[in-house]
Amino acid sequence: MALAEFLNTLDELAKQATAQFEAAADAVSLEAARVEFLGAKSGRLKDVQKGLGQVDKADKPAAGKRFNEVKQQLETLFSAATKRIANGGCVETASDFDPTIPGKRPVLGHLHPITQTIEELVDIMGRLGFTVAEGPEIEDLWHNFDALNIPLEHPARDPLDNFYLATAETMSGQNKTEPKWMLRSQTSTVQIRVMEKTQPPVRIISLGRVYRPDTADATHYPMFHQIEGLLIDRHVTMADLKSILRLFAESFFEDDVHVRFRPSFFPFTEPSVEVDMSWAGDWIEFGGAGMVDPNVLRAVGYDPEEVSGLAFGLGIERICMRRHGITDIREFYKNDVRFLHQF
Ligand code: PHE
């Protein structure tokens, strides 16, 4: 084949391909044009390339050079067309770039409202001198019950109120063995873990998930979060407990919060109270508190004659719901972004 003939075919093809790439109005027609001209198997450029073999030997370098130029040119045109279509049909050139057009805001995720609340609580309690302690969510019965002065026959151990874990040991022997592990039902377990390892004074909070087999409704969920506080030192009193809770609540709710104690019972505190708070009207129950029971202090090797302590445990969902006027706890765990993005 003569060189001129080859070059003519090549030019003709380049013309047609250019026209089609430029005319393509959407991704589908552009892709059809790409397959027709640049298709790797049976594209027309591929056909022309086969013709290269028939070009006279002396002309081959020139033919090959031109072929490569055209190929490059078409690939460039194709990617420009791809960009143009992706841009909604606008060819962007340096001269019509307008820096004053507002940018497209990328959709960013953010922290879950419960996590935001936790961070804020950590911050406030940090200013009151409390550091964060952590404990496992899979807990042994010693830390969840025994060390907290909850005796074997206590109803708090009822299998209907706790998530005991079936392990190989408890499964064998037709369940004759008592369970050893459970999902912790309260963050008070962390008090024990901290006191076992540290000598007084102790000033910690612990925040995290707890589990109870409650049926989910507007105010119950089988998993929720608690903030536990523990202060052990010489001469700690109920007055300290009340003022810490009040300071804490006033910082969080940014209001003049009143704290009310109602007599209650927890095996690990004596005396024990339910903690209600009020501002702008209603009293709301946020959790339990009390003076650490001497039996608990003894269980971890402290001397109740030397030190005393206060402890409290509050529901974090409740705190967060009250702050934002959320009326159904289930909203937190539906993962519906229409709900979550409001916080
Ligand atoms: N652990 C208790 C509960 O989950 C709350 C509490 C914590 C009570 C600390 C007293 C002291 O209900």
Examine residue 99 and state whether it is found in any structural domain, yes or no: no
Domain final position from 47, 63, 93: 93
Examine residue 28 and state whether it is found in any structural domain, yes or no: yes
At residue 189 the predicted structure's pLDDT band, cuts being 50, 70 and 90, is: very high
pLDDT the model gives residue 52: 87
Nearest to 261 by CA among 281, 292, 285, 234: 285
Mean pLDDT over the full length of the chain: 92
pLDDT the model gives residue 170: 65
217 and 326 assigned to the same domain:
yes
Q: What is the pLDDT of residues 288-302, one digit of tens each?
A: 999 999 999 999 999
252 and 299 assigned to the same domain:
yes
- Sign of torsion over alpha carbons 295, 242, 314, 202: negative
139 and 88 assigned to the same domain:
no
| Ligand 1 center–CA 312 separation, angstroms | 6
166 and 222 assigned to the same domain:
yes
Identify the residue whose C-alpha is closest to ligand 1 atom 12: 288
Which of 143, 149, 161, 188 best tests ligand 1's pocket when mutated (most atoms within 8 Å of CB)? 188
- Give yes or no for residue 312 CB within 6 A of ligand 1: yes
pLDDT at residue 91 tops 70:
no
88 and 119 assigned to the same domain:
no
CA distance 41 to 151: 79
229 and 276 assigned to the same domain:
yes
59 and 150 assigned to the same domain:
no
For residue 309, the domain's CATH number is 3.30.930.10
pLDDT at residue 212 tops 90:
yes
Domain final position from 93, 125, 160: 93
The model carries a pTM of: 0.70
Of 49-53, 117-121, 149-153, 269-273, least confident by mean pLDDT is 49-53
275 neighbors 312 (Cβ within 8 angstroms): yes
Q: What would you report as the CA-atom Rg of the chain, rounded to the nearest whole angstrom?
A: 36
At residue 238 the predicted structure's pLDDT band, cuts being 50, 70 and 90, is: very high
213-235 average pLDDT score: 96
Q: Is beta strand 258-266 parallel, antiparallel or unpaired with respect to 269-278?
A: antiparallel
Percentage above 90 pLDDT, the chain: 76
- Residue with more model confidence, 41 or 293: 293
167 and 276 assigned to the same domain:
yes
208 and 137 assigned to the same domain:
yes
pLDDT the model gives residue 171: 64
CA distance 242 to 74: 78
CA dihedral 157, 162, 262, 314 (to 10 degrees): 140
232 neighbors 302 (Cβ within 8 angstroms): yes
- Give yes or no for residue 266 CB within 6 A of ligand 1: yes
27 and 166 assigned to the same domain:
no
pLDDT at residue 328 tops 60:
yes
Which token pair is 97? 């770039």
151 neighbors 171 (Cβ within 8 angstroms): no
pLDDT at residue 88 tops 80:
no
pLDDT at residue 175 tops 60:
no
Domain around 181: 113-340
pLDDT at residue 92 tops 80:
no
211 and 309 assigned to the same domain:
yes
Domain final position from 29, 64, 93: 93
pLDDT the model gives residue 173: 58
Q: What is the pLDDT of residues 122-137, one digit of tens each?
A: 999 999 999 999 999 9
Which of 186, 223, 231, 270 best tests ligand 1's pocket when mutated (most atoms within 8 Å of CB)? 186
At residue 38 the predicted structure's pLDDT band, cuts being 50, 70 and 90, is: very high
